[in-house]
Amino acid sequence: MSNNGKRLIEVAFPLEQTSLDSVHEKNVRHGHISTLHIWPARRPLAASRAVLIATLLPDPGDKKKRDEILKRLAGTVEKSLKKKKLPSGKIEEIETKETVGGILHWGRESGPDLEWFRQEIRKAYGGRAPKVLDPFAGGGAIPLEAMRLGCEVTAVDINPVAWFILKCTLEYPQKLAGQKRRLPDFALRDRDFMTGYFKALGLKPKDIRIQLDMLARKAESGEKQKEMFEQHAISQGQFDADLAWHVRAWGHWVLKQARKELAQYYPTYAEFCTLKPYARVPLARADEEQLKLVPTNDDGDSQIELLNAGYDQTYLDNPANPRWVAKPTVAYLWARTVKCKACRAIVPLLKTRWLAKKDNKRVLLTLEPNADRTGVVFGIDQDVKVQGGNPAQRREHDKRISAGTMSRSGVTCAIPGCGTTMTMADLRLEGRGGRLKTVMTAVVVAFLQNKEYRLPTVHEIKSAEITESDLERIFIEIPFGLPEEPTPKAGLGAARAFSVDLYGFDQWKKLFTLRELLFLGVLTRSIRETKPAIRTLFSEEWGEAIHAMLAIALDRTANYLSTICIWESQAAEVKQTFLRYALPITWDFAEGNPLAPNDRFFFGALSNVAQVIERLDTSAFRHTESPKILNQSAVMTAGEHDIIVTDPPYYDAIPYSDLMDFFYVWLRRVLVGLNSEFDSAFAKPLAPKWNHETQDGELIDDASRFGGDVIASKKNYEDGMAHSFTTCHAELVPTGRLVVVFANKQPDAWETLVSAIIRAGFVVDGSWPIATEMRGGVRNFGRASLASSIWLICRKRDPIKRAGWDTDVLKEMEVNIKQRLRDFWDAGIRGPDFVWAATGPALEAYSQYPAVKKATESGALMTVSEFLRHVRRMVVDFVVGRVLSGGEGATETRDISLDDITTYYLLHRNDFGLKDAPAGACILYAVSCGLSERLLADQYEILSRGKGAAADEESGDEADDVTDEDASDESSGSGGQFKLKAWNQRKHRNLGVEPANGKPVPLIDQVHKLMQLWKAGDENKVNDYLEQRGLRRSDIFHQLVQSLIEKSRAEGQAEECSILEKLSNHLRKIGATAQGALTLGA
């Protein structure tokens, strides 16, 4: 393919641009495939596109040409200053970077250069479309981008939910791209729907009104449609719409059917108000109800005009005149309840009592004992005052007044004088006994873009009291009836993500209120009822696509309609079930109004689905190859391919199948009977886990599938991944490439994956750490997800290659990596990403051999782990050399003689200063220095644990404190933060003293000891310590002190900087000879 036989990605890659555009993509809401359907750990499209292009194209062998390709692909980076408001209220300017040009940034993916890359890729493969395989295709980002580039794509996933998402993302939009069909008659009669349709066609408001009136007259008189087209400014073909508009049309029909039947369960109330200025107006008669129930028509639509029938139009046209104003319900807020084991009062389980917490709106739920002390009475404080002189005092005040009844230890009885605490074990027992009940605490309504909060009416409480017979009436018409399939069981490994079954929620139906089940049941039935009509009007492929997209909208609705959803008081909105990839118990939850025209429910789901289809139609699927989508295991063959790019599961990070069963149970009920393919995929009660008979299934580390045997589960995962990579090797052409994505922060997990790849017959010769995660994402909140995902590039090993020797391998590695380290540093790669970037090229020396023998131990082999220890040490020594030399590279790797603890300290301090650092980075640096984060925290006391660093008891029970809309895509394992202890926080009495075991004292300990002695003003002890430790004559000690001076000055650590500067001056005065009497104040 090129003179050097390498692909572009094996030589160069636009890392910064790809990272910037990948992170930016997380902010995209409308039209992105992530808004079609949830799937864990979906890779950014920008990263997938960049990696595919750089892997498919050969390296030109010329730097100038290479740079031209990279610029055409990723553009350039420009810096700018933007203002940012800090939590303290202070405004500061921050430097931001963004890309200019290229085809990676969202919105530029279909730029003119895309076709150039398509042609270059075909040229590289002799004029044909290269074949690309993703055996763990999941949410479809990688195969989608391969299709965009004109490749022949095969996407494989064992999970039926993923397979279905792939069909909706790749197959249906591609098959029907550019095609149109006439809108159904019911859509033409729907005035609201046609208004939106005409607006999308670009008609002006006046023309829209004309067309709507003509459609209405046609419906009444039976006027021939052709005559209408001839008389007015619209062609008959303009009623021919694409797939997106047909999904909207049929979705509106489904929602109308649901509204007819269910509006009675979601009552709307009106208040007497003026509109401008907006104000509630007390009624003249004190005994008259301040809230009035808004009547509905036969279609379930609110008829507010009936309440205002006594006012003429002139009166209503004046916004200052009070009238009845409908305030649709946004959400009903609930709390689970338990009976106190001491006083027997009914106690609500509340994590927090904030209803709204914004700068301009602070609303709190109040509670006090009822008259007979058998429970509580709720109230609402509409205007909670801010108290406290500074931010810390205000936070403490807010925390105190908003405290609920729940804490990590359990629930405290809300009845004064009782105060009994029921532990989590007590609550589990009550839950399994069916004694956890619920109570409606508040109602959220909307008016004029604002939210208002009030107590529920008696009628609203009764409207939520759905009977079992109501549910049976609906679900008897739905295949498989109510979703009574079992929920996942809590356990070790991946199963730690679940806690609902511990509290008695052991069937999927129990994760929904009865009203939520009723709505989802009616929606499911109505979608199924569209099948005969759709099939009458359209071809089978059109009908299947429309039905499938409606099923996607149903799943999106279910995600915002379960008792795991919470009310987020700062954003003032209902949060989804999968704020994080777990099923935790929630104590207080939000039940949204699914009939509301809200993005979070069916109305908004239709809009999101349609926008994705439209985006794909215009930017990805015109003139592309039809994909092959297979619902099978990754170890099954799928044909020969030119490249394989995949993002496999990571040990126990995400229990995909168990989590996605939340959607599986609804897809099964809405899709079965549509065709034989769906019947087969959703035939079993739940998605595939692990089949012990066939020794095949989902590849994750979940001990619950192996009788609790942790070792057997881990081995099964590792063997399965090795098997899948062996299959990849067999399916890859001799000159092909395998690219594997990995985002787990645990180095040992990463090493095991690399070992499996090497055993399968691959040489690892590249790794690029692409930033894919917003630092503030939900899963990163108090956690330690990697900010980057590592993309490993592999090629097939020469089959006749024999085993190598460790001495030769290490020498070759040092030669290969030295220049790459300089290149990576000059490219601006820093932090843990620098370690990961260097690891791939280093591995080429090792993985080119099927095995590496130890020259000093007969019969012994050097493991991947042992080899990587050498690599990481070389990398971190390089970084430390740059840090000590101020980044100029004067200190070479071979000159470093720092101990492990000091090396770690400098790495950590260089990247994170004295602020909180993600545990992932700390673990990587610790391992690279031959240490562990626990050793650094507990024995050397150089680290302190931040939020989440310690194991969280009942972590599965915590569902609060998360506010981001989207569940994060990264895999993290256990989470947390660490921070370096400042010099004056290291109070251990033996700091800087040689221990009894004779181990050397870390140099950083000696520096901190000297700083404490200097601070104490003890000149003799300072001089004695310098002499005893031989520090006056140590060049590395002088370099370390100077480096710390620069770091502390840059970080604004004034006292530390001052003491270090004085200490440095003192050292220069006394020199390397024996000191005389000196004054410490110098």
pLDDT tens-digit map of 105-142: 999 988 889 999 999 999 999 999 999 999 999 999 99
**How many whole angstroms separate alpha carbon 1017 and alpha carbon 1003?**
21
Question: Which of 122-136, 367-381, 727-741, 757-771 shows the lowest per-residue confidence on average (mean pLDDT)?
Answer: 757-771
Determine the pLDDT at residue 1073: 53
Instruction: Tell me the residue type at 289.
Output: E
The pLDDT assigned to 947 comes to 59
More confident residue, 998 or 376: 376
Instruction: State residue 918's pLDDT score.
Output: 84
566 residue type, one letter: I
Residue 228: pLDDT over 50: no
**452, 496 in Cβ contact below 8 A?**
no
Sign of dihedral through CA atoms 306, 308, 312, 317?
A: negative
Give the mean pLDDT of 804-832: 86
What is the pLDDT of the chain when averaged over all its residues? Answer: 88
Q: How many CB atoms are closer than 10 A to CB 326?
A: 18
pLDDT beyond 50 at 954: no
Give me the long-range contacts of 946-952 (CB less than 8 A, separation at least 24): 946/916, 946/917, 946/976, 946/977, 946/978, 946/979, 947/782, 947/916, 947/976, 947/977, 948/782, 948/783, 948/784, 948/919, 948/975, 948/976, 948/977, 949/919, 949/976, 949/977, 949/978, 950/976
The region of weakest confidence among 217-226, 304-313, 743-752, 774-783 is: 774-783
- C-beta neighbour count of 360 within 10 angstroms: 5
> Residue 841 CB: number of other CB atoms within 10 A?
23
- The span from the CA of 118 to the CA of 615, in Å, is 19
Mean pLDDT of 679-689: 96
For residues 796 and 730, is the Cβ–Cβ distance under 8 A?
no
Q: Which helix (H) or strand (E) holds 879?
A: helix 864-884
pLDDT over 50 (residue 1001): yes
The residue type found at 930 is G
Share of the chain above pLDDT 70, in %: 91
Name the helix (H) or strand (E) containing 917. Answer: strand 917-918
Phi-psi domain of 434 (left: phi exceeds 0; alpha: psi -120 through 50; beta: other)? left
- CA 294/CA 301 separation, integer angstroms: 10
pLDDT tens for each residue of 886-921: 755 544 444 557 899 999 999 999 989 999 888 878
What's the pLDDT at 760? 94
Contact 181, 240 (CB under 8 A): yes
For residue range 300-324, list pLDDT tens digits in order.
Answer: 999 999 999 999 999 999 999 999 9
Q: What mean pLDDT do residues 1042-1056 have?
A: 91
- The region of weakest confidence among 438-442, 545-549, 1046-1050 is 1046-1050
Tokens of 384: 């909670």
Please, what's the b/e burial string for 21-46 (b: 16 or more CB within 10 A of its CB; e: otherwise)? bbbbbbeeeebbbbbbbbbbbbbbbb
Q: Select from 677, 679, 553 the least CA-distant residue to 607.
A: 553
Percent of the residues in the chain that have a pLDDT greater than 90, as a whole number: 64
- Bridge-based pairing of strands 788-796 and 131-134 is unpaired
pLDDT of residue 100: 95
Average of per-residue pLDDT across 379-406: 92
Q: State the first-to-last Cα distance of the chain, in angstroms, to the nearest integer.
A: 68
d(CA 224, CA 218): 7
Two tokens, residue 580: 């994080």
pTM given for the model: 0.88
Give the mean model confidence (pLDDT) for residues 774-798: 61
For residues 653 and 581, what is the distance between their CA atoms, to the nearest angstrom? 9
In this predicted structure, what is the pLDDT of residue 1076? 43
Q: Considering only residues 287 and 781, tell me which one the structure prediction assigns the higher pLDDT.
A: 287
Distance (Å, rounded) from C-alpha 735 to C-alpha 56? Answer: 11
pLDDT score of 374: 95
Phi and psi of 1040, rounded to 5°?
A: -65, -45
Would you call 260 helix, strand, or coil by DSSP?
Answer: helix
- In whole angstroms, give the CA distance from residue 743 to residue 682: 30
What confidence tier does 1072 reach under pLDDT thresholds 50, 70, 90? low
Alpha helices in 637-768 (DSSP H): 656-671, 676-681, 710-731, 747-759
- 458-470 mean pLDDT: 94
User: Cα(40)–Cα(162) distance, rounded to whole angstroms?
Assistant: 10
> pLDDT band at residue 283, thresholds of 50, 70 and 90?
confident
CA-closest candidate to residue 503, choices 405, 423, 569, 558: 423
pLDDT at site 650: 85
* C-beta separation of 1023 from 1078 below 8 A: yes
- The pLDDT of residue 613: 94
With cut-offs at 50, 70 and 90, classify the pLDDT of residue 673: very high
437 — pLDDT class (breaks 50, 70, 90): very high
The amino acid occupying position 142 is I
Cα distance between residue 442 and residue 133, in whole Å:
51
**CA atoms in the 13 A half-sphere facing the CB of 540:** 3
Q: What is the mean pLDDT of residues 732-736?
A: 96
Contact 902, 1040 (CB under 8 A): yes
Gap between the Cα atoms of 843 and 727, Å rounded: 22
pLDDT at residue 3, rounded to an integer: 54
- The pLDDT value recorded for residue 27 is 85
Phi then psi for 583, rounded to 5 degrees?
-125, 80
Alpha-carbon distance of 1073 to 374, in angstroms, equals: 83
At 307 the pLDDT is: 95
pLDDT, tens digit (0-9, with 9 covering 90-100), for 1-52: 555 689 999 999 998 899 999 999 988 878 999 999 999 988 999 999 999 9
pLDDT at 261 over 70: yes
pLDDT at 548 exceeding the cut of 90? yes
- Torsion angles phi and psi, residue 903, rounded to 5: -60, -45
pLDDT at 653: 82
Q: Give pLDDT, residue 891.
A: 45
Phi (first) and psi of residue 822, to 5 degrees? -65, -40
pLDDT the model gives residue 966: 40
User: What average pLDDT does the segment 233-261 reach?
Assistant: 89
Residue 145 CA to residue 130 CA, distance in Å, equals: 13
Q: State the pLDDT at residue 1080.
A: 40
Contact 592, 574 (CB under 8 A): yes
Strand 917-918 relative to strand 977-980: parallel, antiparallel, unpaired?
antiparallel
pLDDT in tens, 967-996: 443 333 345 789 999 999 998 888 988 887
pLDDT for 406: 95
DSSP 1007-1066: HHHHHHHHHHT-HHHHHHHHHHHT-TT-HHHHHHHHHHHHHHHHHT-HHHHHHHHHHHHH
Helix runs in 913-1034, H state only: 919-928, 933-934, 1003-1016, 1019-1029
Return the minimum-mean-pLDDT range out of 89-98, 207-216, 664-673, 1038-1047: 89-98
- Residue range 64-87: average pLDDT? 88
